[in-house]
Amino acid sequence: MGNDSGYTFSIAHLTVLDLAPPEMIALAARTGYHRIGVRLLPATPGGQAYLLDDPAMLRETQAAIADTGITVFDLEIVRLEPHTDIASFRRFFEVGQALGAQAILVAGNDPDETRLTANYAAFCEAAVPYGLTADLEFMPWTDIPDLAKAIRVVGAAAQPNGGILVDALHFDRSDSHVEDLLKIPREWLHYVQLCDGPAEKPTTTEGLIHAARAERLFPGDGGIDLVGMMRPLPRDLPVSLEIPMETLSRTVGPEERVRRALDKAKAVLAKLDVAGEPLAQRRAS
């Protein structure tokens, strides 16, 4: 399937977290992607992460970028907590700059909105010299549980490199609203994460987290209205396919999974142009 939609595609690290960045770059080059995301910091204590303390692998990753033309787009994952020390991210920024990355995925884990907003603003300021945006991702089990609060925090922080990351699963599970997508200023949108999930939503926090980190579905295979979510978003946003599938991964290797993911994402996005669907809500790129 061709790519005449205007979208470019990235493999999110969570999709193939067992692969080191050089392997991901080679995989992306073989399967038709343009970019990858890299997890520099673990999502949970003791979780998998790469490169911050591995200069040899960093050099190998830079060589793979040069050899293939596949770029690193986003970096994960920064959690802003009550006692976060912004100065501690210097190495994170330096590695991101060395990779040529553009965006950082940021999570809000502080119930004090005033302090969280101040820390987010300070983090944005610290990232500026490295050419990085700070994209706040709302997730229903965090202290930025939905799109409305993400808009409020990023707006109050008022930083030129601030942004909001819309993840399809979190958008659906947080009961955020399509009309709120139109309230996001264009300059806050740097990329979007696409996947699918069952129509029936988990009823517990544990269930939400497990589904998000381990058992998503390929675009079009679940019950999320992906076309409705994508319609108001700019058509030139990079699309990161974040689709961890622990059960499927026991029988299907990473190359086949990322190929299926890309084919299915393109099929969903092609529906944006189906004749007869109203385009009035589409935002200009």
Rounded mean pLDDT of the chain?
Answer: 93
pLDDT in tens, 5-47: 579 999 999 999 999 999 999 999 999 999 999 999 999 888 9
Burial of 2 (0-12, 13-18, 19+ CB in 10 A): exposed
Phi–psi pair at 89, nearest 5 degrees: -95, 10
**The predicted structure's pLDDT at residue 275:** 44
Structure tokens, 196: 């699918």
> What letters, b where the CB count within 10 A reaches 16 and e where it falls short, cover 248-275?
bbeeeebeebbebbbebbbebbeebeee
CB 182 within 8 A of CB 281: yes
Q: Report mean pLDDT in 10-residue bins for the chain, 285 residues.
A: 69 97 98 97 92 97 98 97 96 98 98 97 98 97 96 98 97 92 95 95 90 93 95 93 95 96 96 59 46
**The predicted structure's pLDDT at residue 279:** 41
Give the global pTM. Answer: 0.91
Q: Which domains, and CATH codes, for the chain? A: 9-273 (3.20.20.150)
Could you give the CA distance from residue 259 to residue 223 in angstroms, rounded to a whole number? 21
Instruction: Report percent pLDDT > 70 for the chain.
Output: 94
Structure tokens, 107: 């999570």
Task: Residue 92: count other Cβ atoms within 10 Å of its Cβ.
Answer: 20
Could you give the CA distance from residue 61 to residue 76 in angstroms, rounded to a whole number? 16
Could you give the CA distance from residue 41 to residue 44 in angstroms, rounded to a whole number? 9
CB 208 within 8 A of CB 141: yes
Structure tokens, 231: 């319609």
DSSP string, the chain: ----SS--EEE-GGGGTTS-HHHHHHHHHHHT-SEEEEE-S-SSTT----STT-HHHHHHHHHHHHHH--EEEEEEEEEE-TT--GGGGHHHHHHHHHHT--EEEEEE--S-HHHHHHHHHHHHHHHGGGT-EEEEEP-TTSSS-SHHHHHHHHHHH--TTEEEEEEHHHHHHTT--HHHHTTS-GGG---EEE-B--SSPPSSHHHHHHHHHHB-B-TTSSS--HHHHHTTS-TT--EEE---BHHHHTTS-HHHHHHHHHHHHHHHHHGGG-TTS--TTPPP-
**The predicted structure's pLDDT at residue 203:** 87
pLDDT in tens, 85-118: 999 999 999 999 999 999 999 999 999 999 999 9
Could you give the CA distance from residue 136 to residue 117 in angstroms, rounded to a whole number? 11
